[in-house]
Every structure is written in structure tokens, then in C-alpha cells.
């Protein structure tokens, strides 16, 4: 029986060979909840009347950190007390943490061949390291915490083959925006997206993470890259426990195959109010902006900050624009500080924040006012996503965000 990566991972976690379309009960390796999804998960968990499988539970406050008001402070307190009561060691307090998906990868929970669920839609991020990861609801998270298993429908798999050399300033964000433009926000509905090709092999892990992160924006259940030496190198000395590399069989059955020429991909921008409403940045130079946001689980890694700093060095953020820089974790924050990136951002006139999801979801730390426009390295641009209902969010890669901050309008970095 020839299998895709997803089918192999579900087979190993059910103890039998399974194929797409089958309903299975599978053992999960880890279940993650954050400060927003944790509270309902803890309430649902009480119905099980058992102690949680503590080694599998990961608690990461990140959406409203630091707490913005009394309700968010109480929300965080509930998570803190749950961790203490049940002796959950994998609780990551503010100041030693970051955006949940970055922390899951950094702290070694993610590894090839694993099955990981999280009460956050962008849990699909971890597929960049060769595992099957997907978002679930808070009540499902409670079940996983209590019994360590969940029901799944094994998804069909789409194959995306990308060959050729990417242009200067073009990266993973542009590749996934191009794909979403082509297949739509439901083009991968409840499917796994597997990524292959010479372009993929050459991509740094950071770009693969960006692509997997946005699989959900095409409706995908998971976005998986076959693990290689770059993954093994990153996990060396970092990963928790052992892992086994999983690859699709040569004769694996894919429901669809898509081929892309990387050389034809430009710096792309998703216009309001869907990630599929995509055009090249060079065609949108007449659109002025009020805010430029660099960060999030999509593009808040050290590679993203380095790229933006390269463009901003010895330049200034436009006087009509405010720029926010938000590293995705304390580790990335520290690295950026050591490398002198913060000095570049500060000299350019940007504001630097500690790790938080706040502005991405329109919570705080960068909320948009009425009719404001933001060029953002985040993953979603729905109506009201980052603030006022009549504000607008344009999704782009870090280079486009930095270039646009300088000019005050959407800008292809080749122009700078």
C-alpha cells in the first residue's frame, strides 16, 4: 500500500495501515493551547474527571501578553493555576516564551513523523518540519489532554512541486500567496498540502514555516514538507525525545498535483479582505499605508528581521507611517538584539515590542483605527482582523513591509 506522509503518520499513530477518507482514533504526541483557547478547554476538561496526560500538554500564553486588561489578566491566571494544580511542566510564562507556534518549534516539541494538535488554527505551521499538525477546537483539546487520543478523518493529499530560482526579495510568503491566489481559500479544504521541488530544497527552514503556517488560509488541514538535513540540523540539541523521518512513497496517491516555476513568482500582496485576493506589490504602488507590521507566527523569525533590517539600514520610516517590529519569541528577540538589528530599527524610527500576538488578531499593541491601512507580515486580512471594521490589511513578506514603511505606500523592495 503506497502512502503519502499524512497516511504514514496516521498509520504509525493508530497501529494499522490507513488511507485517505478513513475515520481513525489516533494517539497524539502533543496538544497545545494558548491563553485564549485554554479557558474553554480547561472548563471542558473538568468533565473527564481524570488527571491530564501532563507530558503531552503544552500551555503557552501569547495572545494577550502582557495582559492588556483585567479580563485578560484573569484569563492568564486561570492557565497559570491549571498548570500549577496539575503539575504541567510545559507551561511557558511571559518573558521566557513567545508566540505559541514558534515556541512549539523552538522548544523541540515538533519533529518529523509526529502528530500534534493545537487549539489554534495555525497549528499547521509545524508541518514545515515533517510532522502532521493541525488546529482543533478547545473541547477537542480537552479530550486530547485527558485521554491522549482524538478522532480524525485521514485527509487526501495535494502535491505542490516548485522548481526554479526565486527572485531577489521573493520568499516563502510570496510562494504561498501565489498558491492561495490560484486555488482559493477553499482550494485545499480538509486536505494535506505536501511541498516538493528544487526550490523547496533550497528554501531556509524559516520560509518553509511561513508556507506551512498559511496552509490553513487555503482551507488545508495540514501543510507538510519532507524533512531534510536542514530540519535535522535545526533539531540537533533542541528536540525533545526521539523521532523518525517519514517520507511519502514514490507511488503515493495524490488527489491533485500543481507545478510552479519559482522564477515567475513576484513579491506578492494579498489585498483586503481575503488571502486569495493577491497581486504583485509592483502593481499596488498607489496605495498609501498608515502602519507597517513586522512579526507574527508567519514572519517573525530572525531571518525575517534580518531581511527587513537590511532594507531599513540608514533609512527612515516615512513620517506618515508607524512601524511595529515584533519578534516571535524571546530567543529571536535576544538574537536580534545581539546582531544589532534593534539599533537599525530604532534609528529608522520603528517601535519594537516583546513577543505577542496582540496586533495580529486585533487585540492590542497595534490595533487599527477607522479607515486605516496596514501592510503586514501576518497571515490573515479578514474584515476587522487587526482593528476597525473599515480598516484594511495587506499581507506581504518582510521585505515589502520594510520597503513600504520607508515610502509610505505599498512598495516592491526592488524600488528601494
Rounded distance between C-alpha atoms, residue 5 and residue 132, angstroms? 8
Query: For position 208, what pLDDT does the model report?
Result: 98
Query: In the prediction, which pLDDT does 1 show?
Result: 82
Residue 141: pLDDT band (50, 70, 90) is very high
Model pLDDT for residues 61-110, shown as the tens digit of each residue = 999 999 999 999 999 999 999 999 999 999 999 999 999 999 999 999 99
Please tell me whether residues 154 and 217 are part of one structural domain: yes
- Asked whether residue 239 falls in the same domain as residue 279, the answer is no
pLDDT in tens, 337-390: 999 999 999 999 999 999 999 999 999 999 999 999 999 999 999 999 999 999
Contact 383, 273 (CB under 8 A): yes
Residues 208 and 297 grouped into a single domain: no
Q: What percent of the chain has pLDDT over 90?
A: 99
Domain count along the chain:
2
320 plus 219 within the same structural domain: no
Q: Are 126 and 110 in contact (CB under 8 A)?
A: yes
Could you report the per-residue pLDDT of 89-98, keeping only the tens digit for each?
999 999 999 9
Contacts by 329-335 with C-beta closer than 8 Å and gap 24+? Answer: 329/97, 329/98, 329/99, 329/102, 329/103, 329/106, 329/300, 329/355, 330/95, 330/96, 330/97, 330/98, 330/354, 330/355, 331/98, 331/106, 332/98, 332/102, 332/300, 332/301, 332/302, 332/305, 333/98, 335/302
Of 231, 260, 289, which marks where a domain is finished?
A: 260
Residues 307 and 354 occupy one common structural domain:
yes
The CATH number of whichever domain residue 398 belongs to comes to 3.30.499.10
Strands 191-196 and 156-163: parallel
DSSP code string of 76-125: HHHHHHHHHHTT-S-B--TTS-BSHHHHHHHTT---TT-EEEESSGGGGG
DSSP, collapsed to helix, strand or coil, labels residue 74 as helix
The pLDDT score that the predictor gives to residue 416 is 86
Last residue of a domain, one of 237, 260, 283: 260
Residues 330 and 409 in one domain: yes
Determine the structural domain holding residue 204 and report its residue range: 5-245+252-260
Amino acid at each position: 500500500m503506497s502512502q503519502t506522509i499524512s497516511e504514514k503518520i496516521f498509520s504509525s499513530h493508530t497501529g494499522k495501515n490507513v488511507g485517505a477518507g478513513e475515520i481513525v482514533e489516533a494517539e497524539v504526541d502533543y496538544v497545545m493551547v494558548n491563553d485564549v483557547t485554554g479557558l474553554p478547554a480547561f472548563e471542558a476538561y473538568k468533565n473527564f474527571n481524570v488527571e491530564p496526560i501532563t507530558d503531552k500538554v503544552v500551555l503557552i500564553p501569547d495572545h494577550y501578553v502582557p495582559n492588556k486588561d483585567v479580563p485578560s489578566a484573569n484569563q492568564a491566571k486561570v492557565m497559570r493555576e491549571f498548570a500549577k494544580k496539575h503539575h504541567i511542566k510545559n507551561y511557558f510564562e511571559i518573558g521566557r516564551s513567545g508566540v505559541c507556534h514558534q515556541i512549539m518549534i523552538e522548544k523541540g516539541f515538533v519533529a518529523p513523523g509526529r502528530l500534534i494538535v493545537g487549539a489554534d488554527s495555525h497549528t499547521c505551521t509545524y508541518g514545515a518540519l515533517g510532522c502532521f499538525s493541525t488546529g482543533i477546537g478547545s473541547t477537542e483539546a480537552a479530550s486530547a489532554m485527558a485521554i491522549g487520543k482524538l478522532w480524525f478523518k485521514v485527509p487526501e493529499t495535494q502535491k505542490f512541486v516548485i522548481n526554479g530560482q526565486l527572485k531577489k526579495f521573493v520568499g516563502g510568503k510570496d510562494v504561498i500567496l501565489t498558491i492561495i491566489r490560484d486555488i482559493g481559500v477553499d482550494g485545499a479544504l480538509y486536505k494535506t498540502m505536501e511541498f516538493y521541488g528544487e526550490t523547496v530544497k533550497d528554501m531556509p527552514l524559516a520560509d518553509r514555516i511561513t508556507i506551512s503556517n498559511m496552509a490553513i488560509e487555503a482551507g488545508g488541514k495540514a501543510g507538510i514538507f519532507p524533512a531534510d538535513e536542514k530540519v535535522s540540523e535545526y533539531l540537533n540539541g533542541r528536540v525533545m525525545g526521539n523521532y523518525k523521518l517519514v517520507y511519502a512513497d514514490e507511488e503515493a496517491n495524490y488527489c491533485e498535483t500543481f507545478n510552479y516555476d519559482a522564477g515567475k513568482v513576484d513579491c506578492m500582496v494579498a489585498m483586503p479582505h481575503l488571502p486569495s485576493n493577491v497581486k504583485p506589490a509592483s502593481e499596488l504602488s498607489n496605495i498609501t499605508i498608515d502602519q507597517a507590521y513586522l512579526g507574527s507566527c508567519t514572519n517573525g523569525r530572525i531571518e525575517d528581521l534580518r531581511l527587513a533590517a537590511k532594507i531599513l539600514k540608514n533609512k527612515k520610516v516615512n513620517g506618515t507611517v508607524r512601524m511595529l517590529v515584533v519578534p516571535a519569541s524571546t530567543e529571536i528577540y535576544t538574537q536580534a538584539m545581539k546582531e544589532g538589528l534593534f539599533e537599525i530599527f530604532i534609528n529608522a524610527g520603528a517601535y519594537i515590542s516583546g513577543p505577542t500576538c496582540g496586533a495580529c488578531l486585533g487585540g492590542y499593541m497595534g490595533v487599527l483605527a477607522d479607515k486605516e491601512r496596514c501592510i503586514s507580515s501576518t497571515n490573515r486580512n479578514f474584515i476587522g482582523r487587526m482593528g476597525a471594521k473599515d480598516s484594511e490589511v495587506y499581507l506581504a513578506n518582510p521585505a515589502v513591509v520594510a520597503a513600504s514603511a520607508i515610502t509610505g505606500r505599498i512598495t516592491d523592495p526592488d524600488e528601494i
